[in-house]
Amino acid sequence: MSVVARLFRAREAGILVMLVLFVTVVGLIQPRFLTMDTVRIVLLAVPLIMVAAMGQMMVLVARHVDLSIGSILGFSAIAAGMVFRDRPDLPLFIGFAVAILCGAGLGFVNGLVVTLFRLPSIIVTLGTLSLYRGLLFILSGSKQIDPNDIPEPIIRMAQTSPIGMPWIVIIAFGVALATWLFLTFTQLGRQIYAIGSNPVAAPLRGIRVMPVTILVFTLSGALAGLAGIIYAARFGYVNPGITGVGFEFTVIAAVVIGGVSINGGVGSVAGTVLGVLFLGAVQVALPILGVSGFWQNAIYGGIILIALVIDRTVRQGGLRGLLARGAA
Amino acid sequence: MSTTEKTVPNEAGREAAIAKPRWKIWLIRPETVTFLLLIVSAIVASHLSPFFADAGFILESSTYYVEFAIVALVLTLVIISGEIDLSPAAMMALTACLFGTAYKAGAPVPVAMAVSLLSGLALGAFNGFFVTVLRLPSIIVTIGTLILYRGLAQVLAGDKSIGSFPAWFVGIDYRMVGIFPVPVLIFIAVSILLGLFLSITIYGRQIYQIGTSETAAIHAGIRVRRIKMGLFLASGLTSSIAGLMTTSRLGSVRYDLATGGELTMVLIVMLGGTYIFGGRGSILGTFLAAWLLVIIATGMTVANIAINAQLTVMGLLLIVSIIATNWIYARSQR
């Protein structure tokens, strides 16, 4: 058992160490990074990813993957934006409800197709990624929702709140807390882990795999829908061709870095939150270090691969197990 | 094949079920369905527009899809072997950006092309290393490298396009041999080569065996890791060839070259009736599916359906084709 393996035995401890190391190193190079201002910028950068990452984490724990959340985010944001634009007389929560319900509906379709036909979720959601993006172009008539169409209170959610933290940050951590309560204290939450750990044994223990799996995809969609509203608040516009494109990969990066195993059955809210914060820290650190923002995706991709290798090392019991040659 | 209703004793002397007549086996193959769809869509499309009576028009409008279809041929082998590669579109972008960067740095075009092809091999080897040496699942590895490669392309090219290549390099889709544009000829040649490779060489049979049961393949002495590594290398090399073709067609490179290509590639493979869980599929199916997609896409364009709305149809096609393929395989003998 090597030191590295022991360090990463507890996944959350591992990602926490990585985060602290990263912040320390960047802080040594550029002390400006270690200010409250940075904390504020990071917190503003992460709500979008964090809300969707909670859903993606549950999907991965159930041993599936959801590639369509970027398109669901775009679809929900456009739908809510059109409500705001065309019916300014309606109360604001209607827009919220529209976004979350659209997301839940699209997520439900994902879950239904995956479970009904027993298909691999990666292919189904690759299909719906394209399908939902096409639908949102048709829905919006390829027109963007402009800043002056989005109500002032929605925009203000990204800037103010009664307790000094912008509303979207409060929403994001509220979603994380709710997810933690759901996964820890409800029977349904435990069943998601059971399905992911052993899909064969789960039905034998009386778990109804199909409805639980559909629920997981529906939740993932609903949270992507909520992220759509946060997008509108944070960026002040919604564009059918831009909003949410490539978003799924950022979220998967956060979740994988947070120690959620894609083999199912393993993952925690704490780890996912740390993974999201890590991505946010990278995003904010690049300009401060004077590194081009073009590096962001390359770094995300690199971190995913490193996280996978570390995860593998832990499960193999150290580096020797990692490189042990198989029979072939 | 005998079609009598009695059972016949086999060599071991036991009673064995009669083999299904060959025509039945051929009839309920996904490739047959793909072929029938191809015929139907061609008839429908020719009613949409007189253009479709003209094979030249179809061939000319196919060059965009042919780039992805060439990669889809190799992806077919990867999926038959039970793995998946989602990074080829990103590899196309990165190798094309390396080509552009090398050319801009003063390398002659042939040298820059060599840089691109070698880097394609290297990227494929990188994927293969994670999958075969570290034994990580290819789904998540190639999602990781998809982000990494696309990100590196962004680092190389920024948000600018690299262009001003010499005239002889640009416009491969307008170079004709008879009625065939050069990319189509390349696609046909690669199809024949890979089709033969898969159906008559030992390695081809071994790819099927790995996909059917990897454990059994290892016990049968098949060098599973070596073959999988070879497939990922082939995937990288083919992606760089496709990337060069795209570069030649567009006359410039950007980091977002071939964006969304992973969907098109997987769609072609699935339309061709390759089984997503490995072990079954054919190059013939992928070859037919590529033309089916060309006809559908061209038909939609002729029918004035916006490119963005066409995404809806592509997504639906992917889901329907995988459901149909699974259904056919569930009902036919192995």
For A246-260, the pLDDT digits (tens) are 999 999 999 999 988
What percentage of residues in chain A have a pLDDT greater than 90? 62
Helices (H), A198-208: 201-204
pLDDT at B25 over 70: no
Instruction: Return residues 270-289 of B near A (CB < 8 Å).
Output: 270, 276-277
3-state secondary structure of A132: helix
Please tell me the predicted confidence (pLDDT) of residue B206: 96
Share above pLDDT 70 across residues of chain B, in percent, rounded to a whole number: 90
The answer to whether residue B109 scores a pLDDT higher than 90 is yes
Residues 130-189 of B with CB under 8 A from A: 130, 133-137, 139-141, 143-152, 154-155, 158-159
Give residue B5's pLDDT band: very low, low, confident or very high (50, 70, 90). Answer: very low
Mean per-residue pLDDT over chain B, rounded: 89
Mutation to test the A interface, candidates B148, B150, B152, B227, most A Cβ within 10 Å = B148
- Give the pLDDT confidence of A118-157 residue by residue, as tens digits: 999 999 999 999 999 999 999 999 899 998 888 888 888 8
pLDDT of residue B299: 86
Residue B10 reports pLDDT greater than 80: no
Cβ neighbours for A225, distance < 8 A, ≥ 6 positions apart: A72, A73, A76, A99, A100, A101, A102, A103, A104, A106
Contact A130 B139 (CB under 8 A): no
pLDDT above 70 (res A307): yes
Average pLDDT of B76-102? 97
- Whole-number Å distance between alpha carbons of B99 and B250: 14
- pLDDT over threshold 90, residue A313: no
Q: Which of A305, A311, A322 to mutate to test the interface with B (most CBs of B within 10 A)?
A: A305
Nearest chain B Cα distance for residue A30, angstroms:
22
Residues 6+ apart with CB under 8 A from A202: A191, A194, A195, A209
A158 has a pLDDT exceeding 80: yes
Contacts of B150 in chain A (CB under 8 A): 297, 301
Residue in chain B lying closest to A117 (CA): B323
Query: Which of B136, B308, B318 shows the shortest C-beta gap to A127?
Result: B318
Give the pLDDT confidence score for residue B13 in this predicted structure: 54
- How high is the pLDDT of residue B321? 92
CA A246 – CA A233 distance, rounded (Å) = 19
Residues of A in contact with B314 (CB under 8 A): 130-131, 134
Q: Which residue has the tokens 């699209």?
A: A106
B134–A294 CB contact, under 8 Å? no
Looking at residue B26, what is its pLDDT? 66
Name the minimum distance, in Å, from the CA of A97 to any CA of chain B.
Answer: 25
Q: Which residues of B34-65 are buried (b: 16+ CB within 10 A; e: fewer)?
A: bbebbeebbeebeeeeeebeeeeebbbbbbbb
Q: How far is CA A22 from the centre of its chain?
A: 21
Looking at chain A, which residue has its C-alpha nearest residue B313? A131
Of A30-44, A169-183, A305-319, B265-279, where does mean pLDDT reach its minimum? A305-319
* pTM score of the predicted model: 0.90
With bands split at pLDDT 50, 70 and 90, how would you rate the model's confidence at B17? low
Q: Is the pLDDT of residue A14 over 70?
A: yes
- Cα–Cα distance for residue pair B127/B215, rounded to 1 Å: 22
Contact B88, B75 (CB under 8 A): yes
Question: What is the sign of the dihedral through the CA atoms of A128, A131, A135 and A137?
Answer: positive
pLDDT at B24 exceeding the cut of 80:
no
Q: Which residues in chain B are contacts of A56 at CB distance < 8 A?
A: none
Confirm if B41 and B292 have CB atoms less than 8 A apart: yes
Residue A46 has pLDDT above 60, yes or no: yes
Report the candidate in B295, B230, B305, B241 with the shortest Cα–Cα distance to residue B268: B295
Looking at residues A255-281, what average pLDDT do you find?
A: 91
Contacts of B149 in chain A (CB under 8 A): 301
Which is higher by pLDDT, A33 or A216? A216
pLDDT value for B282:
94
With 0-12 / 13-18 / 19 or more C-beta atoms within 10 angstroms meaning exposed / middle / buried, residue A105 is: middle
3-class state of residue A306 by DSSP = helix
Would an 8 Å CB–CB cutoff place B330 in contact with chain A?
no
Give the pair of three-digit tokens for residue B208: 């099927």
Closest-CA distance, B252 to chain A, in angstroms, reads: 19
Scanning B224-243 for CB atoms below 8 A from A yields: 224-226
Q: What are phi and psi of B72, to 5 degrees?
A: -60, -30
Per-residue pLDDT tens over the stretch B262-287: 999 999 999 999 999 999 999 999 99
> Per-residue pLDDT tens for B32-88?
888 988 988 888 888 877 767 677 778 888 889 999 999 999 999 999 999 999 999
Do the chains contact at A305 and B223, CB–CB below 8 Å?
Answer: no
Instruction: Inspect the interface and report whether the beta carbons of B309 and A137 lie closer than 8 Å.
Output: yes
At A226, the pLDDT band (50, 70, 90 cuts) reads: very high
Tokens of A219: 């939740």
- Mean pLDDT computed over B195-199: 95
Residue closest to B245 by CA, chosen among B296, B176, B287, B182 = B182
Does B12 score more than 60 pLDDT?
no
Residue B260 pLDDT > 70: yes
pLDDT digits (tens, 9 = 90+) for B112-132: 999 999 999 999 999 999 999
- The answer to whether the Cβ–Cβ distance between B218 and A296 falls below 8 Å is no
When CB atoms are compared, the residue of B141, B147, B317 closest to A249 is: B147
Mean pLDDT for B293-300 is 90
Q: Is the pLDDT of residue B137 over 70?
A: yes
Query: What is the pLDDT averaged over residues A78-103?
Result: 93
* pLDDT above 90 as % of chain B: 68
A326 pLDDT more than 50:
no
Mean pLDDT of chain A: 89
The per-residue pLDDT for A327 is 35
